[in-house]
Structure 1
Amino acid sequence: MKKAILLLVIAISGVLAVQAQGGGGYQRRTPEERLKMVKEKLVDLNLDKGQTAKSDSAFLDYYKAQDKIFEEMRAGGGAPDRDAIREKIMKLAGDRDEKLKKIYTDEQFKKWKETIEPATRPQRGGGGRGGNGGGNN
Protein backbone atom coordinates (compact mmCIF):
# COMPACT_ATOMS: atom_id res chain seq x y z
CA MET A 1 0.00 0.00 0.00
CA LYS A 2 2.86 2.37 0.79
CA LYS A 3 4.28 1.78 -2.68
CA ALA A 4 0.96 2.71 -4.31
CA ILE A 5 0.69 5.87 -2.23
CA LEU A 6 4.27 6.81 -3.02
CA LEU A 7 3.62 6.34 -6.74
CA LEU A 8 0.52 8.52 -6.44
CA VAL A 9 2.52 11.24 -4.72
CA ILE A 10 5.25 11.08 -7.34
CA ALA A 11 2.67 11.37 -10.12
CA ILE A 12 1.06 14.37 -8.42
CA SER A 13 4.47 15.97 -7.90
CA GLY A 14 5.12 15.57 -11.62
CA VAL A 15 1.86 17.33 -12.41
CA LEU A 16 2.79 20.13 -10.03
CA ALA A 17 6.17 20.53 -11.70
CA VAL A 18 4.55 20.79 -15.13
CA GLN A 19 2.07 23.35 -13.85
CA ALA A 20 4.85 25.40 -12.28
CA GLN A 21 6.59 25.54 -15.66
CA GLY A 22 3.58 26.83 -17.51
CA GLY A 23 1.87 23.52 -18.08
CA GLY A 24 1.49 23.91 -21.83
CA GLY A 25 -2.15 24.93 -21.51
CA TYR A 26 -2.93 22.30 -18.88
CA GLN A 27 -6.04 23.17 -16.92
CA ARG A 28 -6.64 21.45 -13.60
CA ARG A 29 -9.94 19.59 -13.39
CA THR A 30 -12.47 20.44 -10.71
CA PRO A 31 -13.13 17.92 -7.94
CA GLU A 32 -16.46 17.14 -9.59
CA GLU A 33 -14.78 16.45 -12.94
CA ARG A 34 -12.23 14.18 -11.27
CA LEU A 35 -15.06 12.38 -9.42
CA LYS A 36 -16.82 11.79 -12.72
CA MET A 37 -13.65 10.31 -14.21
CA VAL A 38 -13.07 7.96 -11.28
CA LYS A 39 -16.73 6.90 -11.27
CA GLU A 40 -16.36 5.74 -14.86
CA LYS A 41 -13.60 3.41 -13.70
CA LEU A 42 -15.49 2.23 -10.58
CA VAL A 43 -18.20 0.60 -12.72
CA ASP A 44 -16.18 -2.63 -12.52
CA LEU A 45 -16.79 -2.77 -8.75
CA ASN A 46 -20.58 -3.17 -9.19
CA LEU A 47 -21.35 -0.84 -6.28
CA ASP A 48 -24.88 -0.64 -4.91
CA LYS A 49 -26.60 2.74 -4.48
CA GLY A 50 -25.51 3.12 -0.87
CA GLN A 51 -21.90 2.28 -1.68
CA THR A 52 -21.95 4.66 -4.63
CA ALA A 53 -23.18 7.60 -2.56
CA LYS A 54 -20.63 6.99 0.22
CA SER A 55 -17.84 6.38 -2.29
CA ASP A 56 -18.69 9.61 -4.15
CA SER A 57 -18.51 11.51 -0.88
CA ALA A 58 -15.12 9.99 0.03
CA PHE A 59 -13.64 10.86 -3.37
CA LEU A 60 -15.11 14.36 -3.45
CA ASP A 61 -13.73 15.09 0.03
CA TYR A 62 -10.34 13.78 -1.09
CA TYR A 63 -10.24 15.87 -4.27
CA LYS A 64 -11.37 19.03 -2.48
CA ALA A 65 -8.72 18.56 0.21
CA GLN A 66 -6.12 17.98 -2.51
CA ASP A 67 -7.14 21.22 -4.22
CA LYS A 68 -6.86 23.07 -0.91
CA ILE A 69 -3.28 21.82 -0.46
CA PHE A 70 -2.36 22.85 -4.01
CA GLU A 71 -3.99 26.26 -3.56
CA GLU A 72 -2.09 26.86 -0.32
CA MET A 73 1.10 25.87 -2.10
CA ARG A 74 0.46 28.31 -4.94
CA ALA A 75 -0.49 31.11 -2.54
CA GLY A 76 2.68 30.57 -0.54
CA GLY A 77 4.91 31.78 -3.35
CA GLY A 78 8.50 30.62 -3.59
CA ALA A 79 9.58 27.06 -4.17
CA PRO A 80 7.12 24.47 -2.86
CA ASP A 81 8.27 22.08 -0.14
CA ARG A 82 7.73 18.87 -2.09
CA ASP A 83 8.33 16.65 0.93
CA ALA A 84 5.66 18.45 2.94
CA ILE A 85 3.22 18.30 0.01
CA ARG A 86 3.95 14.59 -0.53
CA GLU A 87 3.36 13.91 3.16
CA LYS A 88 0.03 15.76 3.10
CA ILE A 89 -1.12 13.99 -0.08
CA MET A 90 -0.10 10.60 1.32
CA LYS A 91 -2.11 11.28 4.46
CA LEU A 92 -5.11 12.31 2.37
CA ALA A 93 -4.86 9.15 0.26
CA GLY A 94 -4.56 7.04 3.40
CA ASP A 95 -7.62 8.71 4.93
CA ARG A 96 -9.55 8.18 1.70
CA ASP A 97 -8.56 4.53 1.59
CA GLU A 98 -9.66 4.02 5.21
CA LYS A 99 -13.08 5.40 4.26
CA LEU A 100 -13.22 3.18 1.17
CA LYS A 101 -12.33 0.09 3.22
CA LYS A 102 -15.47 0.73 5.28
CA ILE A 103 -17.60 1.14 2.14
CA TYR A 104 -16.29 -1.57 -0.16
CA THR A 105 -16.13 -5.32 0.38
CA ASP A 106 -12.62 -6.77 0.76
CA GLU A 107 -12.76 -7.94 -2.86
CA GLN A 108 -13.92 -4.53 -4.13
CA PHE A 109 -11.20 -2.71 -2.18
CA LYS A 110 -8.53 -5.09 -3.47
CA LYS A 111 -9.70 -4.46 -7.05
CA TRP A 112 -9.67 -0.68 -6.37
CA LYS A 113 -6.07 -0.76 -5.11
CA GLU A 114 -4.63 -3.17 -7.65
CA THR A 115 -6.46 -2.28 -10.84
CA ILE A 116 -8.52 0.89 -10.71
CA GLU A 117 -6.44 3.27 -8.60
CA PRO A 118 -3.32 2.87 -10.78
CA ALA A 119 -5.45 3.70 -13.83
CA THR A 120 -6.59 6.97 -12.22
CA ARG A 121 -3.09 8.37 -11.87
CA PRO A 122 -1.85 10.89 -14.39
CA GLN A 123 0.01 9.15 -17.19
CA ARG A 124 3.60 10.15 -17.68
CA GLY A 125 5.15 10.55 -21.09
CA GLY A 126 8.44 8.95 -21.91
CA GLY A 127 7.52 6.10 -24.17
CA GLY A 128 8.32 6.42 -27.85
CA ARG A 129 11.32 8.70 -27.53
CA GLY A 130 13.46 9.14 -30.58
CA GLY A 131 16.78 7.42 -31.18
CA ASN A 132 17.45 3.76 -31.44
CA GLY A 133 15.46 1.96 -28.83
CA GLY A 134 18.17 -0.63 -28.25
CA GLY A 135 16.24 -3.19 -30.28
CA ASN A 136 17.61 -6.40 -31.65
CA ASN A 137 18.40 -5.30 -35.18
Structure 2
Amino acid sequence: MKGLFPCGGAAADADEEHRVTGTGWPATFDPEGARLHMGIDPDGFRRIFDCIWHEVAKRRTLLDEAYEAGDLASVILQAHTIKSSAASIGALALSRAAAAVEKAARNNAPDALAAAMVHFHAAKETLSRLVGLG
Protein backbone atom coordinates (compact mmCIF):
# COMPACT_ATOMS: atom_id res chain seq x y z
CA MET A 1 0.00 0.00 0.00
CA LYS A 2 2.94 2.29 -0.60
CA GLY A 3 1.86 5.76 -1.51
CA LEU A 4 -1.50 5.60 0.26
CA PHE A 5 -0.18 7.51 3.25
CA PRO A 6 2.96 9.62 3.44
CA CYS A 7 5.45 8.02 5.79
CA GLY A 8 7.58 10.58 7.59
CA GLY A 9 10.58 10.46 9.85
CA ALA A 10 8.67 8.89 12.73
CA ALA A 11 9.11 5.52 11.03
CA ALA A 12 12.82 5.74 11.64
CA ASP A 13 12.53 6.19 15.41
CA ALA A 14 14.74 3.80 17.30
CA ASP A 15 12.20 2.70 19.85
CA GLU A 16 10.87 -0.82 19.36
CA GLU A 17 7.31 0.25 18.70
CA HIS A 18 8.49 2.08 15.60
CA ARG A 19 10.50 -0.74 14.02
CA VAL A 20 9.62 -1.27 10.40
CA THR A 21 7.76 -4.42 9.41
CA GLY A 22 8.47 -6.44 6.28
CA THR A 23 5.84 -4.40 4.44
CA GLY A 24 7.85 -1.23 4.88
CA TRP A 25 5.34 0.19 7.36
CA PRO A 26 6.21 0.82 11.00
CA ALA A 27 4.84 -1.65 13.53
CA THR A 28 2.68 1.19 14.86
CA PHE A 29 0.61 1.22 11.68
CA ASP A 30 -0.35 -1.65 9.38
CA PRO A 31 -2.83 -0.29 6.85
CA GLU A 32 -2.09 -3.06 4.36
CA GLY A 33 -2.90 -5.74 6.91
CA ALA A 34 -6.14 -3.94 7.80
CA ARG A 35 -7.04 -3.52 4.13
CA LEU A 36 -6.41 -7.18 3.39
CA HIS A 37 -8.40 -8.22 6.45
CA MET A 38 -11.32 -6.15 5.15
CA GLY A 39 -10.90 -7.57 1.66
CA ILE A 40 -11.19 -4.21 -0.08
CA ASP A 41 -9.19 -2.26 -2.64
CA PRO A 42 -6.90 0.67 -1.69
CA ASP A 43 -9.46 3.32 -2.69
CA GLY A 44 -12.15 1.68 -0.57
CA PHE A 45 -9.76 1.41 2.34
CA ARG A 46 -8.84 5.09 2.05
CA ARG A 47 -12.51 6.08 2.24
CA ILE A 48 -13.05 3.85 5.28
CA PHE A 49 -9.82 5.07 6.87
CA ASP A 50 -10.85 8.72 6.44
CA CYS A 51 -14.27 8.06 7.97
CA ILE A 52 -12.86 6.15 10.95
CA TRP A 53 -10.01 8.65 11.45
CA HIS A 54 -12.59 11.46 11.61
CA GLU A 55 -14.60 9.51 14.20
CA VAL A 56 -11.45 8.75 16.23
CA ALA A 57 -10.58 12.47 16.20
CA LYS A 58 -13.99 13.29 17.72
CA ARG A 59 -13.56 10.51 20.29
CA ARG A 60 -10.09 11.80 21.22
CA THR A 61 -11.62 15.16 22.09
CA LEU A 62 -14.36 13.47 24.14
CA LEU A 63 -11.72 11.33 25.88
CA ASP A 64 -9.69 14.41 26.83
CA GLU A 65 -12.81 16.18 28.12
CA ALA A 66 -13.85 13.14 30.17
CA TYR A 67 -10.35 12.76 31.60
CA GLU A 68 -10.19 16.43 32.59
CA ALA A 69 -13.63 16.15 34.23
CA GLY A 70 -12.68 12.97 36.10
CA ASP A 71 -15.53 11.08 34.41
CA LEU A 72 -14.06 7.57 34.42
CA ALA A 73 -17.15 5.96 32.87
CA SER A 74 -16.83 8.23 29.84
CA VAL A 75 -13.05 7.73 29.72
CA ILE A 76 -13.67 3.98 29.56
CA LEU A 77 -16.29 4.34 26.82
CA GLN A 78 -14.21 6.67 24.65
CA ALA A 79 -10.98 4.69 25.11
CA HIS A 80 -12.77 1.43 24.30
CA THR A 81 -14.28 2.88 21.13
CA ILE A 82 -10.95 4.35 20.01
CA LYS A 83 -9.23 1.03 20.75
CA SER A 84 -11.58 -0.86 18.44
CA SER A 85 -11.73 1.78 15.72
CA ALA A 86 -7.96 2.25 15.62
CA ALA A 87 -7.38 -1.50 15.38
CA SER A 88 -9.80 -1.75 12.46
CA ILE A 89 -7.66 0.62 10.36
CA GLY A 90 -4.35 -0.92 11.41
CA ALA A 91 -3.41 1.81 13.90
CA LEU A 92 -1.92 -0.74 16.28
CA ALA A 93 0.03 1.51 18.64
CA LEU A 94 -2.93 3.85 19.06
CA SER A 95 -5.19 0.88 19.77
CA ARG A 96 -2.76 -0.46 22.41
CA ALA A 97 -2.46 2.99 23.98
CA ALA A 98 -6.25 3.36 24.15
CA ALA A 99 -6.46 -0.11 25.73
CA ALA A 100 -4.03 1.02 28.44
CA VAL A 101 -6.18 4.11 29.11
CA GLU A 102 -9.29 1.94 29.31
CA LYS A 103 -7.62 -0.51 31.70
CA ALA A 104 -6.27 2.21 33.99
CA ALA A 105 -9.68 3.90 34.12
CA ARG A 106 -11.44 0.58 34.85
CA ASN A 107 -8.96 -0.04 37.67
CA ASN A 108 -9.49 3.50 39.00
CA ALA A 109 -5.71 3.95 39.02
CA PRO A 110 -5.04 7.71 38.72
CA ASP A 111 -1.25 7.50 38.28
CA ALA A 112 -1.51 4.73 35.70
CA LEU A 113 -4.28 6.64 33.92
CA ALA A 114 -2.20 9.82 33.76
CA ALA A 115 0.75 7.87 32.31
CA ALA A 116 -1.54 6.05 29.87
CA MET A 117 -2.98 9.36 28.65
CA VAL A 118 0.53 10.68 27.97
CA HIS A 119 1.36 7.51 26.03
CA PHE A 120 -1.98 7.73 24.17
CA HIS A 121 -1.25 11.27 23.01
CA ALA A 122 2.25 10.29 21.91
CA ALA A 123 0.83 7.39 19.88
CA LYS A 124 -1.76 9.71 18.34
CA GLU A 125 0.89 12.25 17.37
CA THR A 126 3.11 9.56 15.85
CA LEU A 127 0.25 8.18 13.79
CA SER A 128 -0.81 11.68 12.73
CA ARG A 129 2.70 12.31 11.40
CA LEU A 130 2.79 8.95 9.64
CA VAL A 131 -0.45 9.48 7.78
CA GLY A 132 -0.12 13.22 7.35
CA LEU A 133 -3.39 13.97 9.15
CA GLY A 134 -4.14 15.93 12.29
Q: Which structure's CA Rg is the greater one?
A: 1
TM-score (norm 1): 0.34
TM-score, normalised by the number of residues in structure 2: 0.34
